[in-house]
Chains A and B, each alone.
Chain A
Amino acid sequence: MTSQATLSGWGRWPRRTCRTAPLLAEAPFPGGPTLGAASAITRGNGRSYGDPALNPDMTLTGTRANRMLSFDPGTGDLVTEAGVLMSEILDIFAPRGWFPQVVPGTKFGSVGGMIGSDVHGKNHHCAGSFGDHVNWIDLLCADGELRRCSSEENAELYNATCGGMGLTGHILAASVRLRRIASAWIAQETIPVPDLDTAMGVFEANHDTTYSVAWIDCLARGDSRGRSLIYLGDHADPEALDREKRADPFKLPARRKLAMPLDAPSWALNALTLRAFNQAYYKAGCRKAGHGVVDYDSYFFPLDSIANWNRLYGAPGFAQYQCALPLATARDALLDLLEAISEARLGSFLAVLKRMGPGAPERPLSFPIEGYTLALDFPLSSRALTLLDCLDEITVAAGGRLYLAKDSRMTQRTFEAGYGPALDQFRALRAETGATDVFQSVQSRRLAI
């Protein structure tokens, strides 16, 4: 049975009225993979930003297919249905001394969604992306067959599915590897840096640090462009914790949950408030520079503690811009991007810079490439959309690309320039397996994936 719902991604733009039905946990589906509709896409917990998890014909919502099926403490292999959230894995396994190999910036993504977006985390430079730690995927393909896909079995399909935005089939279950941790705490070092070159220097000098990420002041101008607070981190050794924490190194303090009760009015966010906020944030960071211990929740998911923080940008919604730039061109391109952003006096306080390790060329639509990635939000307006087009030009000229999981507005040309021949390979695989017409999203139609 199906219903109608107006859906959007986390950025709340665009919105589409879609037929929806719950994703079933077991194949075959009555009426085939689309439940009888012209085409379908799976939607996990709706945490991609733009339009990849929308299909007016049929959007299968995955969050009820959320059973954990097995866990092997010998190997750390966890088998779950696709709708299990990262937060559930953390809540259950972190207290038992296990942690996901890769965690993205929100813990509310689903396993299916994290595979489909091949998400990366603050350890990308040394651990790769989510897909690097997936043993196998059970994929319901266009022909209605359920296929187990791994690097040995149906390898091409497996590679295309990691990062494939649900366009190869419905992910129904997967086996992912967890790693051992000795405590639920992160030993953190905060390093304020006055400009981009210093920031990049710190990243380059810290390849062996497990986690690294920078909050970057995207409105700083001139020589201050790239002014950042770099957060380095590693799982804390219980020996390094104070007595109280050492007594039960997996016990986290109860956190207060905040919520955005309503949409922020449009005047709340403007160039002045943003610049003021960013300056204050940087100054506060400078005062807190040095070493500390934080719980993993605060370190990895600072925003998740504010429910519906996406309402911060007001009713029109927002677009997130995330690009990856090759190492060779990253510095100049970043300076150009920051220049354009601060010139336009647009941008946000949630800008993030990160050094990425080698990408995964065998996975055609996987986003990361070796170099740097910059991510920031823009409250939606026509001025913002114009600026984003300019940013695209800088990114493309530098040989960079945009992240499908964040995108809601790039053009087919930008997309094709970013992903190159790998995209042709992906399209060919879709055609071959009959997926082209069966698995579609508003995004896949927009970009002719």
Chain B
Amino acid sequence: MSAQKKSVLVLGARSDIARAIAAEFARKGYNIMLAGRDTGWLDRDASDMSLRFQIETTVHKFDALDLDGHEAFFDALPTVPSIVVCAVGLLGDQEADVQDPAAVRRIIDTNFTGPAHALEVAARRLAATEDDTAIVGIGSVAGDRGRAKNYLYGAAKAGFGEYLSGMRQKYVQSRLHVMTVKPGFVATAMTEGMDLPGPLTSTPEKFAKNVVRALDKRRMVYYDLRWRVLMGVITHLPERIFVRTKF
């Protein structure tokens, strides 16, 4: 199994977390396919990774919301990747979004419908290669328990997490491995301007290293220990008590 020839496809590659994960795989010698809506931007990342890691990179236009286009998107890739990472997501603005039907749909579809469908299409192709392959889906701790602050986003991420869990079970006998990643706080463009608690906040680079390491170990879920502990407490609070907290 020569790592050189293998490649990783990253969906939603413009995200800081995605870029860092792609760079981590590139460092290990994988060729990288970057997919997202703004290919002009991704060209810059592609040049950067080829220069730094001396690997091949390609850039592909991908819109998670264009479900009908997903088959054609995968058909057009230069090769079937051995790893597909999906970082597509949209946090939105809870208060404003819930009052706007189009926004509700956009949040649910960007965090759930689109990624779920794209990965379903990917899974069929990866499983068919009869090689060791993997799917990495990025959910969120926000999906562990609905909170006033972001339950629209959280609910969609919860749905995505369950979807991945089902997919993992479906393919457990195959050589396709499905890993769910649940970030807590990662300082990225998405969280820019938010006041994040230092000890619970990671950088995209550190986070990416952990994700790749977890995949190497064939973990089913990558979930930072501190967050698992914190969310463990939060999810076990009786509803009656939870609703009065400020989490």
Distance in Å from the Cβ of B220 to the closest Cβ of chain A?
31
- Complex partner residue of A67 from B16, B45, B189, B192, CB under 8 angstroms: B45
A68 to B47, CA, bound (A): 7
A92 to B51, CA, bound (A): 8
- Complex partner residue of B51 from A22, A25, A70, CB under 8 angstroms: A70
**Cβ-based interface call for A71 (8 A):** yes
**Cβ-based interface call for A69 (8 A):** yes
**Cβ-based interface call for A3 (8 A):** yes
- Complex partner residue of B44 from A21, A22, A67, CB under 8 angstroms: A67
**Cβ-based interface call for B100 (8 A):** no
- Complex partner residue of A71 from B41, B44, B51, B195, CB under 8 angstroms: B51
Determine whether the beta carbon of B192 is less than 8 Å from that of A69: no
**Cβ-based interface call for A2 (8 A):** yes
- Complex partner residue of B52 from A2, A22, A70, A92, CB under 8 angstroms: A92
Inside 8 A of A81's CB, which chain B residues have their CB? 44
A81 to B51, CA, bound (A): 13
Determine whether the beta carbon of B52 is less than 8 Å from that of A69: no
Q: Which residue of B lies closest to A25 (CB)?
A: B44
Determine whether the beta carbon of B45 is less than 8 Å from that of A22: no
**Cβ-based interface call for A64 (8 A):** yes
Q: Which residue of B lies closest to A21 (CB)?
A: B192
Q: Which residue of B lies closest to A84 (CB)?
A: B48
Inside 8 A of A67's CB, which chain B residues have their CB? 44-45, 47-48
Distance in Å from the Cβ of B79 to the closest Cβ of chain A?
25
Determine whether the beta carbon of B44 is less than 8 Å from that of A3: no
Determine whether the beta carbon of A1 is less than 8 Å from that of B47: no
Q: Which residue of A lies closest to B44 (CB)?
A: A67
- Complex partner residue of A3 from B45, B51, B195, CB under 8 angstroms: B195
A to B contact number (C-beta, < 8 Å)? 34
Instruction: Encode contact with A along B35-56: 1 for CB under 8 Å, 0 otherwise.
Output: 0000001001101100110000
A375 to B209, CA, bound (A): 39
Q: Which residue of A lies closest to B195 (CB)?
A: A3
Determine whether the beta carbon of A64 is less than 8 Å from that of B16: yes
A22 to B191, CA, bound (A): 12
Residue among B52, B189, B194 with the most chain A CB within 10 A? B52
Distance in Å from the Cβ of A325 to the closest Cβ of chain B?
41
CB contacts under 8 Å to B, within A75-107, are 81, 88, 92
CB contacts under 8 Å to A, within B169-221, are 189, 192-195
CB contacts under 8 Å to B, within A1-33, are 1-3, 21-22, 25-26
Q: Which residue of A lies closest to B45 (CB)?
A: A67
Inside 8 A of B47's CB, which chain A residues have their CB? 67-70
Inside 8 A of B189's CB, which chain A residues have their CB? 22
Determine whether the beta carbon of A1 is less than 8 Å from that of B192: yes
Determine whether the beta carbon of A3 is less than 8 Å from that of B192: yes
Distance in Å from the Cβ of A359 to the closest Cβ of chain B?
33
Distance in Å from the Cβ of A35 to the closest Cβ of chain B?
12
A67 to B47, CA, bound (A): 8
Query: How many of chain A's residues touch chain B, expressed as a range?
Result: 10 to 19
Determine whether the beta carbon of B193 is less than 8 Å from that of A3: yes
A71 to B54, CA, bound (A): 12
Determine whether the beta carbon of A69 is less than 8 Å from that of B48: yes
Instruction: Encode contact with B along A255-274: 1 for CB under 8 Å, 0 otherwise.
Output: 00000000000000000000
Determine whether the beta carbon of B51 is less than 8 Å from that of A68: yes
Distance in Å from the Cβ of A64 to the closest Cβ of chain B?
7
Inside 8 A of A70's CB, which chain B residues have their CB? 47, 51
Distance in Å from the Cβ of A85 to the closest Cβ of chain B?
12
A69 to B41, CA, bound (A): 11
Inside 8 A of B193's CB, which chain A residues have their CB? 1-3, 21
A1 to B187, CA, bound (A): 13
Q: Which residue of A lies closest to B46 (CB)?
A: A67
A64 to B194, CA, bound (A): 17
Inside 8 A of A25's CB, which chain B residues have their CB? 44
A64 to B47, CA, bound (A): 16
Distance in Å from the Cβ of A231 to the closest Cβ of chain B?
31
A3 to B193, CA, bound (A): 5
Inside 8 A of A2's CB, which chain B residues have their CB? 192-193
Inside 8 A of A26's CB, which chain B residues have their CB? 41
Distance in Å from the Cβ of A67 to the closest Cβ of chain B?
4
Inside 8 A of A71's CB, which chain B residues have their CB? 51
Distance in Å from the Cβ of B156 to the closest Cβ of chain A?
22
A70 to B50, CA, bound (A): 9
Inside 8 A of A22's CB, which chain B residues have their CB? 189, 192
CB contacts under 8 Å to A, within B2-57, are 16, 41, 44-45, 47-48, 51-52
Q: Which residue of B lies closest to A92 (CB)?
A: B52
A25 to B45, CA, bound (A): 11
Q: Which residue of B lies closest to A69 (CB)?
A: B47
Q: Which residue of B lies closest to A70 (CB)?
A: B47
Distance in Å from the Cβ of B188 to the closest Cβ of chain A?
9
Q: Which residue of B lies closest to A79 (CB)?
A: B47
A88 to B41, CA, bound (A): 21
Q: Which residue of A lies closest to B50 (CB)?
A: A68
Distance in Å from the Cβ of A83 to the closest Cβ of chain B?
11
A71 to B53, CA, bound (A): 13
Inside 8 A of B45's CB, which chain A residues have their CB? 67
Inside 8 A of B41's CB, which chain A residues have their CB? 26
Inside 8 A of B48's CB, which chain A residues have their CB? 67-69
Distance in Å from the Cβ of A12 to the closest Cβ of chain B?
19
Inside 8 A of A88's CB, which chain B residues have their CB? 52
Q: Which residue of B lies closest to A78 (CB)?
A: B51
Distance in Å from the Cβ of B92 to the closest Cβ of chain A?
14
Distance in Å from the Cβ of A111 to the closest Cβ of chain B?
13
Q: Which residue of A lies closest to B189 (CB)?
A: A22
Distance in Å from the Cβ of A20 to the closest Cβ of chain B?
10
Could you show 5 A-B contacts with beta carbons less than 8 Å apart? A21-B192, A25-B44, A68-B51, A70-B47, A92-B51
List 14 additional A-B contacts (Cβ < 8 Å) besides A1-B192, A68-B52: A1-B193, A2-B192, A2-B193, A3-B193, A3-B195, A21-B193, A64-B16, A67-B44, A67-B45, A67-B47, A67-B48, A69-B44, A69-B48, A69-B51
Which 5 A/B pairs are nearest by Cβ-Cβ distance?
Answer: A1-B193, A67-B48, A1-B192, A68-B51, A67-B44
